[in-house]
Structure 1
């Protein structure tokens, strides 16, 4: 089995497993010590999770709670694994009101295999195929959204929204702090946890509240600020497009050009010439 780390943030680690276990090898044992989500990319997996046998293939996600032994049976395939910190797990249990969930509070239920939805498949694809090309905040926001969709699948219901007019009014200061932080630190690789810690709220709460109050996700707002700054810098003839890209907080000229084109319907070079 080959394991490769793809991404590490304050609350999430993403790995890629490539498995090719033969009958002669007889399988492989391990121990899961954290809440995680497992998505199958290709192939077919035969596994025992907490003594529960599973046959997994594309279109499946496995939701796993912490502290149980597993065994990989002879099989071949590739999967991605999202491991989450204990504090993140506690926060989303609290934030999404899962203290009475039939799965999350039952100590005898440690794993659950679900079929994915097109929305889940899309978000998973966007995350794993854009790692290294986009910033931490975008990945973090997508991961939080992915977790929400999977949990809704587990619970078989939409998760409640808390951002009523009263809640919005009460948390206006939080949104003001978040916007000030994004406007002053836009050229840094900000994570969702960085932003939430600055505002003294949980990442889940901030992500939902920010969207409800501004109409943008934190990442969408950050990109808009970066693009506005880039437009100003492009008026300075001494700066190259690459200089503008990095000075505005983008970590890839290709990603910068695509985002700029989407907003302005012009490339950065065309915008500069007009």
Structure 2
């Protein structure tokens, strides 16, 4: 496959590669060897991932986990170039990760299954977004970015989000890019008051149609997706800053301390103050 693959981070923890597909015209790639255990987040596009006789239907918003030591091929669904963030691991670190895989342990024990797709939760996508932004900065805070990475890997390997909708070609070509644009807007503006009509207008559909499409693709309503981004950022600030609970509430888009505290406790099972202590 023709691709621009840039290594944007390397440490004993893992290597991170920015994969930008350049192969728009081809339908099926040549066979490629999977040399290392990897976790890839699909940022853009959709493709068929073929290994032996199986094909996984991958699209943006999913994580593709691949064991080492197998050949695969990629089949392009349409002419939108795929973009992925690929985290690759040494054999030693891969063994440590898979030993704590939780609900994915069956996948790692199954010698006949080489790859699996995981549906990214709003929290996982937000963590990926933070990592990708940190890696683009000229002065990298290595300890912080690796804290974000280990949090992300832990969430991925303990997830049960292996069920996600099959999308037809029209949905992959037209709806996926639309939803990805809206999610990017939410990442950049989650501290602001956002109206459903604004998001629907970005997608050029009615609010009702947009809500239905958004939930089909993300498994969340637009409001729930936004709320979970805010709560994840609040959790990070509670654990890693000395900001007051009130300051964190307003900094993450909540309009009252009471609303923030109630939403936080409902989601995490602990109040913000209890989480910090």
Compute the TM-score of the two structures, normalised by the length of structure 2. 0.52
Q: Does 1:152 align with 2:154?
A: no
Compute the displacement of 1:20 (Å): 3.2
User: Per the alignment, do residues 155 and 35 of structure 1 end up closer, same or farther by CA in structure 2, a change over 3 Å counting?
Assistant: farther
Question: Which residue in 1 is equivalent to 2:133?
Answer: 129
Check whether the contact 1:21–1:73 (CA below 8 A) recurs between aligned residues: no
Q: How does 1:161-180 map to 2 (within 5 A)?
A: none
Compute the displacement of 1:146 (Å): 0.7
Check whether the contact 1:101–1:155 (CA below 8 A) recurs between aligned residues: no
Helix, strand or coil: the match of 2:107? coil
| Runs of 4+ off more than 6 Å | none
Say which one has the larger Rg: 1
User: Per the alignment, do residues 22 and 42 of structure 1 end up closer, same or farther by CA in structure 2, a change over 3 Å counting?
Assistant: closer
The one-character-per-residue Cα deviations of 1:188-217 (angstroms, maximum 9, x if unpaired) are xxxxxxxxxxxxxxxxxxxxxxxxxxxx99
Q: How does 1:182-193 map to 2 (within 5 A)?
A: none
Check whether the contact 2:104–2:159 (CA below 8 A) recurs between aligned residues: no
> Any stretches of 5+ residues in structure 2 without a counterpart?
163-235, 243-250, 252-277
Compute the displacement of 1:24 (Å): 4.9
The one-character-per-residue Cα deviations of 1:21-74 (angstroms, maximum 9, x if unpaired) are 244574233111221111111122232134421222211111111111011223
User: Per the alignment, do residues 116 and 6 of structure 1 end up closer, same or farther by CA in structure 2, a change over 3 Å counting?
Assistant: same
User: Per the alignment, do residues 147 and 47 of structure 1 end up closer, same or farther by CA in structure 2, a change over 3 Å counting?
Assistant: same
Q: How does 1:1-274 map to 2 (within 5 A)?
A: 1-24=3-26, 26-74=28-76, 76-94=81-99, 96=100, 101-131=105-135, 132=137, 133-154=139-160, 220=240
Helix, strand or coil: the match of 2:85? strand
Q: Distance in 1 between matches of 2:105 and 2:92?
A: 18
Q: Distance in 1 between matches of 2:126 and 2:94?
A: 23
User: Per the alignment, do residues 141 and 73 of structure 1 end up closer, same or farther by CA in structure 2, a change over 3 Å counting?
Assistant: same
The one-character-per-residue Cα deviations of 1:221-246 (angstroms, maximum 9, x if unpaired) are xx88xxxxxxxxxxxxxxxxxxxxxx
Check whether the contact 1:50–1:111 (CA below 8 A) recurs between aligned residues: no
User: Per the alignment, do residues 14 and 51 of structure 1 end up closer, same or farther by CA in structure 2, a change over 3 Å counting?
Assistant: farther
Count residues in correspondence: 163
> Any stretches of 5+ residues in structure 1 without a counterpart?
157-215, 225-261, 263-274
Compute the TM-score of the two structures, normalised by the length of structure 1. 0.52
Check whether the contact 2:42–2:83 (CA below 8 A) recurs between aligned residues: yes
User: Per the alignment, do residues 91 and 106 of structure 1 end up closer, same or farther by CA in structure 2, a change over 3 Å counting?
Assistant: same
Compute the displacement of 1:129 (Å): 1.2
Check whether the contact 1:9–1:136 (CA below 8 A) recurs between aligned residues: no
Q: Distance in 1 between matches of 2:32 and 2:101?
A: 31
Compute the displacement of 1:17 (Å): 1.0
Q: CA RMSD in A?
A: 3.0
